[in-house]
Chains A and B, each alone.
Chain A
Amino acid sequence: MTQADRNEPRRRNASKLFYGTEPFVDDLPAQGDWHGGTVRSRIAHGRLIRLKFSPEFDWSQVVVVTAADIPGKNLVVCHEEDQPSLCDGTIRHYGEPLALIAAPDGELLHKALRAVEPVVEPLPAVFDPFESLKGETRIFGKDNLFLEIPISKGHAAKQFASCDVVVETNHFTPAQEHAYLETQGMRATLEGNGVRIEGSMQCPYYLVAGVARLLGIPETDVRVSAMQTGGGFGGKEDFPTMLAGHAALLARKCGRPVRMIYSRSEDMAATTKRHPAWIRRKTGLSRAGQFLAMELDVVLDGGAYATLSPFVLSRAALHAVGPYRCDHVSICARAVATNHPPNGGFRGFGCPQVHFATETHIEACAEKLGVDPVELRRMNLMKPGDAMPFGQLLGPGTYPGVVLDEALHRSRFEERRAEIEAKNRTSERRTDSGDFEKRGIGLAMFMHGTGLNAYWEKSVRSRVRLAATAEGQVCVLTAQAEFGQGTLTALAKIAAESIGLADSDILIDHPDTALVPDSGPTVASRTVSIVGSLIHEAASRLRQHIEERAGLAAIYDPRRLKAAIASCVSGGDSMVFEAEYSPTDDTDDANTWAPPNAYPAYALGCCVAEVKIDTLTGEIGVVDVHMICDAGAVVCHRLATNQVFGGAVQGIGWALTEKLAWNESGGMRNASLSDYAIPSAADVPEIHAHFLDDQHSERYRYPIGLGELPMEGPGPAIANAVAMATGRRPRRLPISPEWIVCSQGPEES
């Protein structure tokens, strides 16, 4: 049976999405809604003296909200309490919200926004994290350091002396824009004593806490309904809390529903990006190629406020060595404040950055040793039971070497590499100035721990609920949002299979906090793995109940089971079953950022990419991509394959086309999709996705989480392919035509 032949449920809301009848937030009928907008800073750092309101504008037509109007705490909190919802006197980044305006229509709103002029006193701004660490310009705390995570195993510093070869390289990976199809959007309506929020988001319960804190009302007075959301990629993890708070403040002030829908340019300029990362990697090896010692410095530009930076840094630090074994490791990971807009969550969450460094660094090590980089990897890959630098042992059934072999086999890597080597030597495409078309093939391993790290996963205490109906159907109640990845379809399938009902007898909808328990955020590839396992647990309680009431036979036939459920409901049984996340092992409460058993399981991947380069025009074409993923059981192959395609495309864009340019104030200069180039269909080759999931191993009984994994491989694989084609190792992304054509390109500066 091939993967495509499996009996797969249809995407839950496919036809509604296709016909355009599934509403997104801006499709909600206007019920006297006012339009909300944001007055933003044009400087990177300074003091807000006051806001000058033009006397030529009739301000009675609109409402204005400033920090002084906030009834609760003027804070947006992910971890640190450093970010105000509206400027509290100090401006720390370009685009920072200074005030809010609501108007009956969009044009009047625009006029009003233009009639406000912030009077500011600029302060020196710092955009380089290394400059920032000198502390001359104070942004956060005493030293501008959001967090430092040291991880140490063995005695790396001592060990280098006894290594045969030591290789040291520096790497840079850039910011990246999420470019979700639907921009950020939120609607706030006054409801009872509180407020109702509807909008585009990943984490409804984050908004409950955030809006309650801002308005100074109990969380029970905030109701949040996630709408169908047009893409998130981590960009709708923390930011919607800010936007929901703004919409709620305006609704409270004008007494009407307020909708705030960002334009593309506002969205790109004002919301979070992937953290730019500077990574220094030093490895000591034996002559035979064994990794003996490693030293890593990871520096993330967190932007002006901490937001999710500590969490991203934690994942980067925990994955910094990749799936390799080394007994002496010293890692220093730092997230640093600068006057850039805050950087936040983005698919991969720190992993793409460190994997890029690791996988391009290994090639440099192989070159220095004069060995095949594939063999160097194979020699050093971890096996089950091997310890990671922070102490966790790689779990049973987790074999990076198997993933590597599968990738080599499926991509015919060694054959293709030999063919390309030969072809590059005797290129048919010649000019008088020499060969210009070069090809290259490259490979990269990557891994991704599922869920939040053990400390935070434990502190969330996720709960799911199953509730049976009088018809014998079962509602799945979780806080997981649907933003294109197929949450509703996958969770329904897990419920159907776990309970034993037909897929059509499972009811699931977009989460509404008035109805669903807090099953945690829709992030960290945790939906099918963590939340799915809770659904499975609640389902087994439901089955046990039916077995007790109707006998064993009832639970093995979907029709009899449905009838038995209906009969229990009509008989007065409550028929509500919950499950709550409780980690099996004791998590060290002191170890927030690098707990010894950081993740319950690790998904693995290997990407092989082949490129074609015109060395005279600098055009780089990716001609073939193989993605081999081991993410435990695959719930829905079609959705999983789509995740791999989407992730690979995002990885190709990060590697080749997506160059974020900053303006003089540290904001995004190219805040439009015609200037910030995401790959088009013509830039993407056929992507071959393959899952290791049909083996007779405990590992493949449950899903491990796949959402982020595929983003992490193409960057380093493409860089390695480009290195083979050009003989120059890209140390920075994106690899641009400018860099290929001559070293005069901006990437070299």
Chain B
Amino acid sequence: MKAFEYVGATSVDQAVKALTPGSAPLAGGTDLINRMKDYVTSPERVVYLNDVKELAGISGDAASGVTILAGTRLAEILASEVVKSAYPALWQTTSEVATPQIRNMASLGGNLFQHPRCWYYRSGFGLVPKTTDGKHMLREGDNRYAAIFMTDGDALYVHPSSLAVPLIALGAKATLVGPEGERTVEVEELYKVPTSNSESPFATKPGEILKSVTIPASKGKNASYEARHKQAHDWPLVMASVNLTFSGETVSDARVVVYGVAPVPWRSKAAEEAIKDKVITVESARSAGEAAAAGAKPLSMNGFKVSMLKTVITRALCTSAGNKYWEA
């Protein structure tokens, strides 16, 4: 890797001051260090955040909402009783990230700001990889793991953070801190879709870091369901997180967010509409899955994701309602 300047910060204030242009924040390092070793990212300065005490911990409860600080390890999220009982969508997804060793190191912030796994990006061709004669390498090349939504655009990779998906479903908000102070945005507003290699996939301002994520009070039911290739040490192929509010037996409000289908966590308004005012059954859940797939435009090799999308939405909805998805 390229030599870099190392700065250790002990407060958020110090960290923000140290994060000058060309710097990268280091928490667990499970994504950053690998990118540095492969020269995908070569920061001039690395700012070590693990000694910033105000960046680690979980507070709050199910009734008032929970705040998870950005430096909190995924293993700590798994150890949280309140996350496990009130936000099973987040707990389940966290439990399926990578391996125990990586969950002991990786932080919430690092997970949300990890870089895409697209192998063209990781080989140095950028997020919008094109050949010198303008051919899109992912559109024309091996696109089995690429997006099936927003494929009219040029960003065809899939968003890598599996934790962003349940957090968006749960309506979580992110607090960012930077040279201009603090601001709070929806988690989905952390991301944008680049149109060229010079653009970032993140909607943060220069020098900003994530301070915390706040999940609102738990009212309804939530769940996640992943389809995977490997049972560990891998990212999901396709995953859905759902968060439902009920009026009696029927769904009064729904959020359905999907992983692995678009360059951002994909909020399926179609599935949300389809399940609204319905009682959750395998049939209604399956209809929601079908609705979600309606606008999909797969590339040459990833049509299989369309049927996986339907399945994971069906199963996440059934699971959230406490229905076993295999009981018709």
User: Does B228 touch A at the CB level, under 8 Å?
Assistant: yes
CB-CB under 8 A from A663, the residues of chain B are 123, 141
Residue of A nearest to B303 (CB): A744
User: Does A515 touch B at the CB level, under 8 Å?
Assistant: no
Residue of B nearest to A431 (CB): B282
A736 to B302, CA, bound (A): 12
A675 to B228, CA, bound (A): 13
- Please tell me if the beta carbons of A265 and B119 are within 8 angstroms of each other in the complex: no
User: How many residues of chain B have a CB within 8 Å of chain A?
Assistant: 42
Assuming A619-B227, A683-B230, A683-B232, is B328 touching A432 (CB within 8 A)?
yes
A265 to B39, CA, bound (A): 11
CB-CB under 8 A from B147, the residues of chain A are none
Cross-interface CB contact of B304 among A621, A671, A742, A749, cutoff 8 Å:
A742
Stretch in B150-158, B262-270, B307-315 with 4+ CB within 8 Å of A: B307-315
Assuming A621-B231, A683-B231, A683-B232, is B141 touching A664 (CB within 8 A)?
yes
B152 → A minimal CB distance (Å): 20
Cross-interface CB contact of B117 among A430, A675, A683, cutoff 8 Å:
A675
User: Does B246 touch A at the CB level, under 8 Å?
Assistant: no
User: Does A746 touch B at the CB level, under 8 Å?
Assistant: yes
Cross-interface CB contact of B308 among A670, A671, A683, A741, cutoff 8 Å:
A741
Assuming A432-B282, A617-B312, is B326 touching A680 (CB within 8 A)?
no
Residue of A nearest to B227 (CB): A617
Cross-interface CB contact of A746 among B234, B301, B327, cutoff 8 Å:
B301
- Please tell me if the beta carbons of B229 and A736 are within 8 angstroms of each other in the complex: yes
- Please tell me if the beta carbons of A431 and B326 are within 8 angstroms of each other in the complex: yes
User: Does B122 touch A at the CB level, under 8 Å?
Assistant: yes
CB-CB under 8 A from A674, the residues of chain B are 34, 117, 234
CB-CB under 8 A from B142, the residues of chain A are 661-662, 669, 746
- Please tell me if the beta carbons of B119 and A675 are within 8 angstroms of each other in the complex: yes
CB-CB under 8 A from B302, the residues of chain A are 738
User: Does A89 touch B at the CB level, under 8 Å?
Assistant: no
- Please tell me if the beta carbons of A431 and B328 are within 8 angstroms of each other in the complex: yes
Residue of A nearest to B143 (CB): A746
User: Does B189 touch A at the CB level, under 8 Å?
Assistant: no
User: Does A698 touch B at the CB level, under 8 Å?
Assistant: no
- Please tell me if the beta carbons of A616 and B304 are within 8 angstroms of each other in the complex: no
CB-CB under 8 A from A679, the residues of chain B are 230
A672 to B121, CA, bound (A): 12
A364 to B154, CA, bound (A): 45
B37 → A minimal CB distance (Å): 7
A436 to B326, CA, bound (A): 8
Which secondary structure characterizes the binding site on chain B?
loop
CB-CB under 8 A from A621, the residues of chain B are 231
User: Does B130 touch A at the CB level, under 8 Å?
Assistant: no
CB-CB under 8 A from A683, the residues of chain B are 230-232
Which secondary structure characterizes the binding site on chain A?
loop
- Please tell me if the beta carbons of B230 and A432 are within 8 angstroms of each other in the complex: no
A21 to B229, CA, bound (A): 37
A618 to B117, CA, bound (A): 21
A617 to B240, CA, bound (A): 12
CB-CB under 8 A from A680, the residues of chain B are 99, 230-234
B139 → A minimal CB distance (Å): 13
A663 → B minimal CB distance (Å): 8
Assuming A680-B232, A683-B231, is B286 touching A669 (CB within 8 A)?
no
8 Å CB interface, B81-126 against A: 99, 117, 119, 122-123
8 Å CB interface, A434-448 against B: 436-437
A183 → B minimal CB distance (Å): 12
A621 to B232, CA, bound (A): 12
Residue of A nearest to B235 (CB): A674
CB-CB under 8 A from A657, the residues of chain B are 229-230
Q: Per-residue CB proximity of A614-633 to B under 8 Å, as 1/0?
A: 10111101000000000000
B44 → A minimal CB distance (Å): 13
A279 → B minimal CB distance (Å): 24
A669 to B123, CA, bound (A): 8
8 Å CB interface, B1-58 against A: 1-3, 34, 37-39
- Please tell me if the beta carbons of A661 and B304 are within 8 angstroms of each other in the complex: no
User: Does A31 touch B at the CB level, under 8 Å?
Assistant: no
A91 to B144, CA, bound (A): 30
CB-CB under 8 A from B232, the residues of chain A are 680-683
- Please tell me if the beta carbons of B286 and A430 are within 8 angstroms of each other in the complex: no
A94 → B minimal CB distance (Å): 12
User: Does B69 touch A at the CB level, under 8 Å?
Assistant: no
CB-CB under 8 A from B99, the residues of chain A are 680
A663 to B138, CA, bound (A): 11
A619 to B229, CA, bound (A): 6
User: Does B277 touch A at the CB level, under 8 Å?
Assistant: no
A617 to B233, CA, bound (A): 18
Cross-interface CB contact of B311 among A110, A429, A617, A661, cutoff 8 Å:
A617
A677 to B303, CA, bound (A): 21
- Please tell me if the beta carbons of A741 and B328 are within 8 angstroms of each other in the complex: no
A107 to B4, CA, bound (A): 11
Assuming A675-B117, A681-B232, is B304 touching A431 (CB within 8 A)?
no
CB-CB under 8 A from A675, the residues of chain B are 117, 119, 122
- Please tell me if the beta carbons of A428 and B326 are within 8 angstroms of each other in the complex: yes
Assuming A617-B308, A682-B231, A746-B301, is B119 touching A669 (CB within 8 A)?
yes
8 Å CB interface, A472-497 against B: none
8 Å CB interface, A234-286 against B: 263, 265
CB-CB under 8 A from A614, the residues of chain B are 227
Residue of B nearest to A740 (CB): B304
Residue of B nearest to A653 (CB): B230
CB-CB under 8 A from B304, the residues of chain A are 618, 737-738, 741-742, 744-745
User: Does A60 touch B at the CB level, under 8 Å?
Assistant: no
A672 to B40, CA, bound (A): 13
User: Does A433 touch B at the CB level, under 8 Å?
Assistant: yes
CB-CB under 8 A from A682, the residues of chain B are 230-233
A670 to B117, CA, bound (A): 10
A418 to B117, CA, bound (A): 43
User: Does B283 touch A at the CB level, under 8 Å?
Assistant: yes
Q: Per-residue CB proximity of A406-430 to B under 8 Å, as 1/0?
A: 0000000000000000000000111
A654 to B314, CA, bound (A): 31
A664 to B138, CA, bound (A): 11
- Please tell me if the beta carbons of A265 and B307 are within 8 angstroms of each other in the complex: no
A276 to B202, CA, bound (A): 41
Residue of A nearest to B99 (CB): A680
B259 → A minimal CB distance (Å): 13
A665 to B38, CA, bound (A): 20
Residue of A nearest to B118 (CB): A675
A745 to B34, CA, bound (A): 30
A736 to B301, CA, bound (A): 13
CB-CB under 8 A from B233, the residues of chain A are 680, 682
8 Å CB interface, A544-569 against B: none
CB-CB under 8 A from A670, the residues of chain B are 119
Cross-interface CB contact of B326 among A110, A437, A618, A746, cutoff 8 Å:
A437
A110 → B minimal CB distance (Å): 7
Cross-interface CB contact of A265 among B38, B117, B308, B328, cutoff 8 Å:
B38
A591 → B minimal CB distance (Å): 43
The contact sample of 5 A-B pairs, CB cut-off 8 A, is A617-B308, A670-B119, A737-B229, A741-B308, A742-B307
A residues within 8 Å of B by Cβ? Answer: 107, 110, 263, 265, 428-433, 436-437, 614, 616-619, 621, 657, 661-664, 669-672, 674-675, 677, 679-683, 736-738, 741-742, 744-746, 749
Known: A429-B326, A436-B326. 16 other contacts (CB 8 A): A110-B2, A431-B325, A432-B328, A621-B231, A662-B142, A664-B141, A670-B119, A671-B123, A672-B38, A672-B119, A679-B230, A680-B232, A741-B304, A742-B304, A742-B307, A745-B304
B residues within 8 Å of A by Cβ? Answer: 1-3, 34, 37-39, 99, 117, 119, 122-123, 131, 137, 141-142, 144, 227-234, 237, 282-283, 286, 301-304, 307-308, 311-312, 314, 325-328
Query: 8 nearest interchain CB pairs?
Result: A682-B232, A617-B227, A744-B303, A682-B231, A429-B326, A680-B232, A680-B233, A738-B304
